[in-house]
Amino acid sequence: MAYELGSRVVRKLGVVGSGQIGPDIALHMTKTLAPHGVPIVVVDIASAALEAGRAKLHQKIDKGVETKAFRHEQAEAMKSNVTFTTDYDALAGVDFVIEAATEDLELKRRIFAQLEELRSDDAVLASNSSHLEPERIFANAKAPSQCLVIHYFFPAERNPLVEVVPAAATDDRLVRWLLSFYESIGKIPIRVASRYGYAIDPIFEGLFQAAALAVEEGLGSTKEVDWVARKSLGLGVGPFTAMNLTGGNPITAHGLDEAHERVHAWFRTPASLKEAVASGARWEVPARGERVEIASERAVVIERRMRGAYFGLVNEVLSSGITNVSDLELGVEAGLVVKPPFAFMNELGLSESLQLVRAYREVEPSFPVGDALIEREASAEPWDIPYVLRRDESEIAVLTIRRPLVLNALNDVVFEQIRRHLESIRDDDAIRGVVLTGFGRKAFVSGADVSMLAKIQSAEQGEQTSRRSHEVLDAIEAFPKPVICAYNGLAFGGGNELGMACHARVARKGLRPLAAQPEPNLGIIPGAGATQRLPRLIGIDKAWGLLRTGRPISSAQALELGLIRGEVEGDVTAAAVDLARDASFGRAMLEPIPVEPLDVPESLPEVDLGHLSNAVDRVLQKAILEGARMTLSEGLRFESKCFGEVCALEDMRIGVDNFLEHGPRSKAAFVHR
């Protein structure tokens, strides 16, 4: 058995190093590749390290069984799929190997010299370095085109981010394949050009340096600075807590000293960090759930220092040219669990953000103030953060909605970016069609961003929100070139409505669930076309129960109902590209959605609403039935009115508040008014 993706096949995967991160990489790989029969081999020269790594991997899998993340049989298969050994020959014929040894350049070179004698001809040789440039690691490589850095983040089995860092000699086709591979196994990969520390660690280590310098200056204790930094930057854990959790003092101290020479003169190892490395002491930090009291005047000073350092560090990385706004925004938020920087600067205002950076530089004269933020602030325009990415493939433009941390949820910015892409594609004679898909494998689009719905305060606002979404979806439906939706994962609410506006839909095979209109669970009705398009695509009698209950259907059921054109065993986006191209040449016919009024049956199936709101359901029935008797365009306008009507109900507020407080699985206590 094997894992096949595009032009490459992985039959055996190796991990070299059974220290802190190697077993975690092996854990993620066995979770995703064991079902495909791909064995994972962990090699280390130290038997004690192997035993510790095995125990760590088994313990985490057992914990997953306790939390019901893994079934018992799945857990046993994952364990038995990983071999821990001191024998490098066990890697013979390996297709993909990740070196996860300590951050020692000569050691890494020796390991790869040994691996080159064992690998298959086109094997991927990757180093999980956190700092070292791939050109230095692979200076003596026999096949440099197959070598690069893949940087995991703590904890490697759960942190979604990986930095893919090619050397100048790395084959670009391999880089593109790795980005697709990691996306397919549930990671968030970003491509970063070669530079010491890459894109994310200079921000992580720089924030720690700023926090340590604040303590050394006397602005607060480590506990106080940790607390304020976490609150002011939206960090999952404060910088000192992060060091304790990762055991990162030694590597950070080394990294900051090296960054002083290789990146920027401001980077340096604070005296307190040198002392902590020498003594092995842990930092004093807030206990879990502890609230730290600190004078507001000191808290404000620390907050401004940390925000100025954060924005300046991000700006330096962007100004260096090794990455872009979209990847850096996503990478920092996903990898470091911090408020996304460019959206944060937009929220505060770019003038205020730049002022914070300059104020930090007044305290730290060697601190970098890169050109990117200066130029953006001078333009008087906020950061443009791409969430809908375009790539052109064989005369077809592929638009990918990439908001994986919210399962690609829709908001006004996403709609606007889709609209702008369509305008550009319409006038591009080199493009014959469009494929619309989502990032990752979990979701095409999970629905509308509920935080956007929570801002609706009146019927008028609700109607306007619905009409704004209709403008984009109507443009998709009327687009002069074929538009195919590739359902890479679930499509709920606005996601399914977006798909239904496309000229045809295909889905990855075996999705359970694929599609649903769960709006009644939130105390609302569909507002982006589902009450009108779903009955026209599958029939009003079949749509009736799905719309009123929010019940999900699988990809197989969607095919049977006629919602999708087909299920795809392999690459659903590639299949959609082929369909768009065939349709553009007339080799495939796409059935247009009926636009005339529908025949409404005298009776429709009874529906058990359960806990759902009767008040919302009355409006929903009206939208479906009266809209069906209209033309599609008239029905869509009527849906917007009905959506606004629902937004004035008490149950709408109850449903949305319940979702935000308790999540999608919690049943709201509707009052039916």
Quick one: pLDDT at residue 301? 98
Same-domain check for residues 344 and 438: no
Indicate if the alpha-carbon torsion angle 301, 304, 309, 312 is positive or negative: negative
Residues 285 and 395 in one domain: no
- Same domain flag for 475 and 612: yes
Q: What band does 573 get if pLDDT is binned at 50, 70 and 90?
A: very high
Q: Which domain holds residue 631?
A: 388-662
Check residue 234 and report its DSSP letter: T
How many whole angstroms separate alpha carbon 650 and alpha carbon 659?
Answer: 15
Residues 429 and 344 in one domain: no
The string of pLDDT tens digits covering residues 489-547 is 999 999 999 999 999 999 999 999 999 999 999 999 999 999 999 999 999 999 999 99
Q: What is the pLDDT of residue 161?
A: 98
Highest mean pLDDT of the ranges 30-34, 601-605, 663-667:
30-34
Average pLDDT, integer, range 10-31: 97
- Count up the domains in the chain and report the number: 3
The predicted pLDDT at position 606 comes to: 94
Report whether 186 contacts 29 (CB < 8 A). Answer: no
Q: Measuring CA to CA, which residue among 541, 520, 540, 551 is closest to residue 617? A: 520
Residue 673 covered by a domain: no
The answer to which of 15-19, 452-456, 523-527 has the lowest mean pLDDT is: 452-456
Tens of pLDDT along 351-376?
A: 999 999 999 999 999 999 999 999 99
Residue 241 belongs to some domain of the structure: yes
In this predicted structure, the answer to whether residue 119 has a pLDDT above a threshold of 90 is no
* Eight-class DSSP state of 553: B
Dihedral of alpha carbons 119, 121, 122, 125, sign: positive
Average of per-residue pLDDT across 164-177: 97
Largest separation between any pair of C-alpha atoms in the chain: 82
Q: What is the pLDDT of residues 199-212, one digit of tens each?
A: 999 999 999 999 99
In this structure, the number of other CB atoms found within 10 A of the CB of residue 87 comes to 10
What's the pLDDT score for residue 451? 84
Q: The tokens of 440 are what?
A: 């990752």
Give the pLDDT confidence of 618-659 residue by residue, as tens digits. Answer: 999 999 999 999 999 999 999 999 999 999 999 999 999 999
Cα separation, 86 vs 43, in Å, equals 5
Same domain, residue pair 536 and 557: yes
Residue 668 within a domain: no
* Straight-line distance from the first to the last Cα atom of the chain, in angstroms, rounded to the nearest whole number: 57
Q: Phi/psi zone of residue 381: left (φ > 0), alpha (ψ -120 to 50 degrees), beta?
A: beta
On the question of pLDDT at 584 being above 90, the answer is: yes
Which pLDDT does position 213 carry in this prediction? Answer: 98
User: Residue 33 in contact with residue 187, Cβ under 8 Å?
Assistant: no
Distance CA 210, CA 208 (A): 5
Between helices 650-662 and 614-628, what is the axis angle to 10°?
Answer: 110
What number of other Cβ atoms are within 10 A of residue 143's Cβ? 15
Task: Determine the angle formed by the axes of helices 341-348 and 350-363, rounding to 10 degrees.
Answer: 100
> Do residues 349 and 394 both lie within one domain?
no
Show the tokens assigned to 431.
């493009």
Q: Is the pLDDT of residue 453 over 90?
A: no
Do 150 and 192 form a contact (C-beta atoms < 8 A)?
A: no
Per-residue confidence at 234, pLDDT binned at 50, 70, 90?
very high
**CB of 342 closer than 8 Å to CB of 385:** yes
For residue 121, pLDDT over 90 is answered with no
Do residue 369 and residue 414 come from a single domain? no
pLDDT at 1: 83
What is the per-residue pLDDT for 366? 97
Average the pLDDT over 277-289 and give the result.
95
Q: Residue 414's closest CA among 508, 497, 532?
A: 497
| pLDDT of 120 above 90 | no
pLDDT at 258: 95
The mean of the pLDDT values for the chain is 96
CATH number of the domain encompassing residue 311:
1.10.1040.50
In a domain, 667, yes or no: no
Q: Is 187 a member of any domain?
A: yes
Q: Domain of 186: which CATH number?
A: 3.40.50.720
Paired with 5 in beta bridges are 8
* 379, 408, 429 - which closes a domain: 379
Quick check: is 551 in a domain? Answer: yes
Q: Are residues 174 and 268 in the same domain?
A: no
Could you give the CA distance from residue 268 to residue 264 in angstroms, rounded to a whole number?
Answer: 9
State the pLDDT confidence band at 664, using cuts at 50, 70 and 90: confident
User: For a pLDDT cut of 90, what percent of the chain falls above it?
Assistant: 96
Rounded Cα–Cα distance for residues 245 and 228 (Å)? 18
Amino acid making up residue 150: I
Same domain, 341 and 454: no
In a domain, 669, yes or no: no
Angle between helices 530-538 and 494-501 (to 10 degrees): 60
How confident is the model at residue 12, as a pLDDT?
96
Tens digit of each residue's pLDDT (9 = 90 or more) over 65-118: 999 999 999 999 999 999 999 999 999 999 999 999 999 999 999 999 999 988
Q: Please report the DSSP string for 72-121 in residue order.
A: HHHHHHHHHTEEEES-GGGGTT-SEEEE---S-HHHHHHHHHHHTTTS-T
**Secondary structure of 423-492 in the HEC alphabet?**
HHHHCCCCCCEEEEEECCCCEEECCECHHHHHCCCCHHHHHHHHHHHHHHHHHHHCCCCCEEEEECCEEE
What are the angstrom distances between the C-alpha of 655 and each of 230, 448, 649?
31, 14, 10
> Which of 379, 403, 420 is the C-terminal boundary of a domain?
379
Which pLDDT value is given to residue 448?
87
Among the three residues 379, 407, 424, which one is the final residue of a domain in this structure?
Answer: 379
Whether residue 672 is contained in a domain is answered as no
404 and 521 in a single domain? The answer is: yes
Same domain as 545, residue 430: yes
Residues 443 and 561 in one domain: yes
pLDDT of residue 62: 97
